Amino acid sequence: MAKATDPIVIGKRTAKNRVTMAPTVKFIAGEDGRVTEDFVAHYAERAKHQCAFICVEATCVAKEARLAPSQLGLWEDGQIEGHRKLTDACHEYDTLVVPQLHYGGLGTHPACGPLVGPSKMVREAFGQKSEVKELSRRTSGASWGSLPLRRCGPGRRATTGCSSTPATATSSTTSPPG
């Protein structure tokens, strides 16, 4: 039987052991949704202590669909650098990192935007009713279309937000480990 300390192959990558970190939102980003030094330190600390695979917390792909104004984001190019820093800090310890791409949907905070979800379910929250809309590229404006899902240039490792594999447009999805 495999031990927790045994490596495991995940797609094209190998995790050095089977210790993983589930996504857990911290709501410590600023209004701009960017990675702060606190984020980098938090994840690097987990990597340092032998976590081999980290799923970075719910990372919103649309400014108007955040769970809170302080949710981590990845909806514009200016946010890539912070995610790269976080990922590189974890890679120092040979830890795999994936972002959890996230869209608030009916959980969206009213300070961020209207409640818009993919289902016919109507939810009343924060004094607002959800709008019944198909969650499509059109619904979420430029957000899905402008996702930075590409490699960051020749010779660079794929980092968070820079995967070569497109993410699917569900309300919570992850891309392959980088």
Ligand X SMILES: Cc1cc2nc3c(=O)[nH]c(=O)nc-3n(C[C@H](O)[C@H](O)[C@H](O)COP(=O)(O)O)c2cc1C
For binding to ligand X (CB under 6 A), which residues are involved? Answer: 22-25, 57-58, 100, 172
What's the rounded Cα separation, in Å, for the pair 15 and 30? Answer: 32
CB nearer to ligand X: pick between 36 and 150: 36
Contact 91, 45 (CB under 8 A): no
CB of 171 to ligand X, least distance (A): 10
CB nearer to ligand X: pick between 164 and 170: 170
CB of 100 to ligand X, least distance (A): 6
CB of 156 to ligand X, least distance (A): 26
The CA–CA distances, whole Å, from 36 to 3, 4, 40, 67 equal 35, 31, 7, 18
CB nearer to ligand X: pick between 58 and 112: 58
Query: How many other CB atoms are found less than 10 A from the CB of residue 165?
Result: 12
Please name which of 169, 35, 151, 40 lies closest in space to residue 102, comparing C-alpha atoms.
Answer: 169
CB of 83 to ligand X, least distance (A): 15
CB nearer to ligand X: pick between 63 and 66: 66
